Amino acid sequence: MFCPNCNERINSTQRFCPHCGARNPAAGGGAAEGGAADVGRDGTQEMPPASADGEAEASENAWHADGANSYGSGPYGGAPVPPPPNATTPMPPVPPVQPPSGAPIPMQPPVQPAPQKNSPNVASIVVLAAAAVLLLAVVLVVVNPFGGQPDNETPVVEEAPAASAAAEAEQRTADDVAADESEAEEAQSETDAASEAIAAAEKEKAEAEKAKAEAEKQKAEAEKEKAEAEAEAARKEAEAAKKSAEQAQAQSSQTPKPNNFYILPDSSSRVYSYSELDSLSTYDLFLARNEIFARYGRIFQSDDLNSYFNSQSWYDPRYTPEAFDNNWLNSTERANVDTMLQIEQSRNSPYV
């Protein structure tokens, strides 16, 4: 359909013309059908938006309360004329509709004003002007050609020292922590080194004490061996001295024997008793024991024996010590040799 005011194409469901703002009588049946829908929450009737040339406002307010036309010197020459087809008589105020108790109050969606025909887009101009002002402000803030500082901004230079101080404080704290850790590690290292040094010193001390004890033990053993050797040497010297004394005594006390003499004349045929043999001197026992071997012609290594037996007429030296056989002695001679040797050993004879 077309608007009865501006003859522009409109939708039959639109209440107002989007071009001129005139009311559409075909939408909602006018005030009788849409009065309740046109009443706001404050009880007033909704008015159509004003157009750029004021046609809607003239259409709505052209009639007074008594229905007279106030158009002045319009096309009708000031005479009363009927209202235009698109004009409606103002409705009395409708009391607000109270919703039931406890029911939610429905919200009336806001009515968007219809765009006006051939009117400049003020909103677009305002938006563009605001964007230009904002862009200019951003450029002034960023470039700052006058060297000033905007009042609504916090000086960056003033915040920098605080941030720098905080960063330096954190860095100092980190450095202090690192220094403390380094000092702690150095102290621990020194403690470990000192402990190792103490342990090494104690180990060396223990080894030194052990070596000292071992040296003292070896010294004691050496002294003991030395004392034993000295005692043994003294004993041997004493025995040698005793033997020499006995030999000297025997040689000085023995009576010269004839050249045809036997100390034990029956040594090959009779076993002498222990007491009989024990009555002889140590030197005579020495001569009597070897006298049994001399009768068989045995040669002796001792000069004393060779000298003595060579002085006897019955002695005939024929066998060296290596060639002589002890099995040549009979049992009686062996018994007498064993008894005399036993007596000599009991006397610690130097001739044994």
What pLDDT, on a 0 to 100 scale, did the predictor assign at position 334?
96
> Distance between CA atoms of 181 and 233, rounded to whole angstroms?
76
What pLDDT, on a 0 to 100 scale, did the predictor assign at position 123?
80
What pLDDT, on a 0 to 100 scale, did the predictor assign at position 251?
56
Token pair 């980190």 is found at 174
What pLDDT, on a 0 to 100 scale, did the predictor assign at position 148?
54
Residues of the domain holding 277: 259-346
Distances (CA, A) of 150 to 101, 138, 142, 169: 56, 11, 10, 30
Cα–Cα nearest to 262, from 313, 327, 300, 333 = 313
Give bridge partners of residue 45 from the DSSP assignment: 39
Longest distance between any two alpha carbons in the chain, whole Å: 220
What pLDDT, on a 0 to 100 scale, did the predictor assign at position 67?
42
Within-domain flag for 313: yes
What pLDDT, on a 0 to 100 scale, did the predictor assign at position 261?
86
Final residue in a domain of this structure, among 143, 163, 197: 143
Within-domain flag for 228: no
Distances (CA, A) of 16 to 93, 115, 130: 21, 10, 31
The tokens for 168 are 């330096």
Within-domain flag for 70: yes
Let me know the angle formed at the C-alpha of 159 by 153 and 160, rounded to the nearest 5 degrees.
Answer: 130
Within-domain flag for 204: no
User: Which residue blocks in the chain are alpha helix, DSSP H?
Assistant: 30-38, 55-60, 122-143, 156-253, 274-278, 282-294, 303-310, 331-346
Specify the DSSP class assigned to residue 61: S
Q: What is the CATH number of the domain that holds 299?
A: 1.20.58.1690
On whether the CB atoms of residues 149 and 155 are closer than 8 A, the answer is: yes
Within-domain flag for 125: yes
- R_g of the chain computed on alpha carbons: 81
How many domains does the structure of the chain reveal? 2
Within-domain flag for 198: no
What pLDDT, on a 0 to 100 scale, did the predictor assign at position 27?
72
On whether the CB atoms of residues 247 and 283 are closer than 8 A, the answer is: yes
Give bridge partners of residue 63 from the DSSP assignment: 69
SS3 63: strand
Phi then psi for residue 14, to 5 deg, are: -80, 135
Burial class (CB in 10 A: 0-12, 13-18, 19+), 157: exposed
Q: Record the pTM.
A: 0.32
On whether the CB atoms of residues 87 and 60 are closer than 8 A, the answer is: yes
What pLDDT, on a 0 to 100 scale, did the predictor assign at position 32?
41
Within-domain flag for 22: yes
What pLDDT, on a 0 to 100 scale, did the predictor assign at position 300?
95
Within-domain flag for 281: yes
What pLDDT, on a 0 to 100 scale, did the predictor assign at position 13?
85
Question: What tens-digit pLDDT sequence spans the chain (352 residues)?
Answer: 788 899 888 888 888 888 888 888 877 644 444 444 444 444 444 444 444 444 444 444 443 434 444 444 444 444 454 555 554 555 555 555 555 555 555 555 555 555 555 455 778 888 889 899 888 888 787 766 565 555 555 554 455 566 777 888 888 888 888 888 989 999 998 989 999 999 999 999 999 999 999 999 999 999 999 999 999 999 998 888 877 766 665 554 455 556 678 999 999 999 999 999 999 999 999 999 999 999 999 999 999 999 999 999 999 999 999 999 999 999 999 999 999 999 999 999 999 8
What pLDDT, on a 0 to 100 scale, did the predictor assign at position 218?
93
Residue type, 240: A
Residue 21 — left, alpha, or beta (φ > 0 → left; ψ -120 to 50 → alpha)? left
